Amino acid sequence: MKIAVVGTGYVGLVTGTCLAETGNQVICVDVNQSKVKMMQEGMLPIYEPGLESLFTRNLKQGRLHFTTDLAEAVAEAKIIFLALPTPPGGDGAADLSYVLGASKDIAKLITEYKVIVTKSTVPVGTADKITDVFNAHTNVDYAVVSNPEFLREGVAVEDFMKPDRIVIGTLDERARKLMGELYAPYVRQGNPIIYMDPRSSELTKYAANSFLATKISFMNEIANLCELVGADVDMVRGGIGADDRIGRRFLFSGIGYGGSCFPKDVQALAKSAKDNQYDFKILNAVMDVNDIQRKILVDKIKAYYNNNLKGKKLAIWGLSFKPETDDIREAPALYIIEDLLKEGATITAFDPEAMTNVKGALGDKIEYAADQYQAAKDADALLILTEWSVFRTPDFDQLESSLKTKVIFDGRNLYDIQKMIDCGYYYNSIGRRVVS
């Protein structure tokens, strides 16, 4: 099938590449000329495990193309995916100007039946707004489909190639059939394609992300309570997660959820509820809990140093919002760093992938180390802010000889409590006893 993907951000690039992998002819279009040139030359602008080999292969075999020319992209494509940004506007609602702007341009270009698919997370009613734009600018037949992405950064290729489910929201029979054919190779393992109307599909995406964010925030509150009553959140997690109705996943307490989706989507859903005169109380609480949770490690550090961090040299392991990505959008680490700098601490950080992005955001406000032990050199304490595998089983002897004092604040609960006792660390994690 001939496919166009408008927008080569994270979602567009993964979508385009993975659609090419099953034999489709994919043309990706972006306004950013230097980025398009880079991709035409075989270079990827993002880090995502597994993407590079698929990207290179499909580029070489001529199934994946890049252009800045929307007309060229739209000309032959049967299905046009919109993978454009929907950043939060000033009032928390998603800004649809890119999506609607591109829709207008496409509407003016089409000369035969096309399927327009929203892949970006868009508020309920966006398919109708796109329909209005098309009706205003073309007489050609078309269909609008909502097809939300559920990709997790770090495992996006796997999520695309073997999705738990595919949601297709359309009332157009022809579009429904085409979308079903397009996705058939991705659901061979038996997972469902779920068809519904566009509004339900649009809400499904927000409901999924908001539910997961709620699950995490609930667990973060349980962790905070564990500390007060002398319980261990790891035990409680095991105890409740074994119940199938609750499930084991997304029950890890820490320093709050981050990333490009959860914070934005929870906020947008709460706003959309409010616009419809509905006060979504749970979502408001989820956002409050997350704001507090982002400060929890700083509170612990301040308490340990009697509210005086001036001159303290702190080492940080992990900057990205989660492992296996260089993405620092809404990363808890950035909030924590800002608070610590305000308190007068100095910081040396290491992250396996996100250092370039953090350098761009923070410049020389902090120091950057070549590896994790160099970051810990002469530090008063080590802070663990992202659970990269490489931090899970460090060489504790080397760590001990690097650190000035054996103090660890662990925002991701990486180490066994008994191990910390045996190694003689002061160890403060989330929802577990403090080892001192």
Residue span binding ligand UDX (CB under 6 A) among the ranges 38-46, 76-84, 257-265, 388-396: 257-265
Nearest to 208 by CA among 152, 157, 275: 152
Nearer to ligand UDX, 66 or 160 (CB): 160
137-176 binders of ligand UDX (CB under 6 A): 149-153
Nearer to ligand UDX, 183 or 250 (CB): 250
Residues that contact ligand UDX, how many (by CB under 6 A) = 19
**Least CB distance to ligand UDX at residue 265 (A):** 7
Nearer to ligand UDX, 66 or 206 (CB): 206
Nearer to ligand UDX, 158 or 172 (CB): 158
**Least CB distance to ligand UDX at residue 342 (A):** 23
In this structure, what token pair is assigned to residue 214?
A: 């709620």
Nearer to ligand UDX, 258 or 394 (CB): 258
**Least CB distance to ligand UDX at residue 430 (A):** 10
**Least CB distance to ligand UDX at residue 170 (A):** 20
Nearer to ligand UDX, 70 or 266 (CB): 266
Determine if 391 is a binding residue for ligand UDX (CB under 6 A).
Answer: no
Cα 381 from chain centroid (whole Å): 29
**Least CB distance to ligand UDX at residue 46 (A):** 12
- Taking the CB of residue 432, how many other CB atoms lie within 10 A of it? 22
Helices (H) and strands (E) in the chain, counts: 18, 14
The residues annotated with a catalytic role in the active site are 261
**CA separation (Å) from 114 to 2, 143, 176, 207?**
11, 7, 12, 29
Task: State which of residues 163, 254, 318, 394 lies at the interface with ligand UDX (CB under 6 A).
Answer: 254
93 near 268, Cβ under 8 Å?
A: yes
Task: State which of residues 252, 304, 415, 427 lies at the interface with ligand UDX (CB under 6 A).
Answer: 252
Nearest to 253 by CA among 298, 285, 219, 211: 219
Backbone angles phi, psi at 264, to 5 degrees: -65, -45
131 near 93, Cβ under 8 Å?
A: no
Determine if 259 is a binding residue for ligand UDX (CB under 6 A).
Answer: yes
**Least CB distance to ligand UDX at residue 209 (A):** 6
76-105 binders of ligand UDX (CB under 6 A): none
Nearer to ligand UDX, 243 or 397 (CB): 243
Extended strands (E) in 183-228: 193-196
Residue span binding ligand UDX (CB under 6 A) among the ranges 81-89, 186-194, 248-256, 270-278: 248-256
**Least CB distance to ligand UDX at residue 210 (A):** 11
**Least CB distance to ligand UDX at residue 39 (A):** 22
Distance between CA atoms of residues 246 and 219, nearest Å: 12
- x/- track of binding to ligand UDX for residues 211-240 (CB under 6 A): -x---x------------------------
In this structure, what token pair is assigned to residue 407?
A: 């103090």
Task: State which of residues 26, 251, 269, 316 lies at the interface with ligand UDX (CB under 6 A).
Answer: 251
Nearest to 18 by CA among 58, 45, 68, 47: 58
Determine if 209 is a binding residue for ligand UDX (CB under 6 A).
Answer: yes
- Give alpha helix (H) positions in 305-402: 332-342, 355-362, 372-376, 396-402
In this structure, what token pair is assigned to residue 149?
A: 């992405």
Residue nearest to ligand UDX (CB): 261
The tokens 């002398």 sit on which residue?
Answer: 230
Determine if 431 is a binding residue for ligand UDX (CB under 6 A).
Answer: no
Determine if 373 is a binding residue for ligand UDX (CB under 6 A).
Answer: no
Determine if 262 is a binding residue for ligand UDX (CB under 6 A).
Answer: yes
Nearer to ligand UDX, 198 or 256 (CB): 256
Distance between CA atoms of residues 52 and 253, nearest Å: 32
Nearest to 43 by CA among 6, 4, 13, 85: 13
In this structure, what token pair is assigned to residue 414?
A: 């990486």
**CA separation (Å) from 43 to 7, 10, 151, 327?**
16, 14, 22, 18
Using CB atoms within 10 Å of the CB of residue 416, give its burial: 0 to 12 exposed, 13 to 18 middle, 19+ buried.
Answer: exposed
Cα 176 from chain centroid (whole Å): 28
Contacting residues toward ligand UDX, per CB under 6 A: 149-153, 209, 212, 216, 250-252, 254, 257-259, 261-262, 321-322
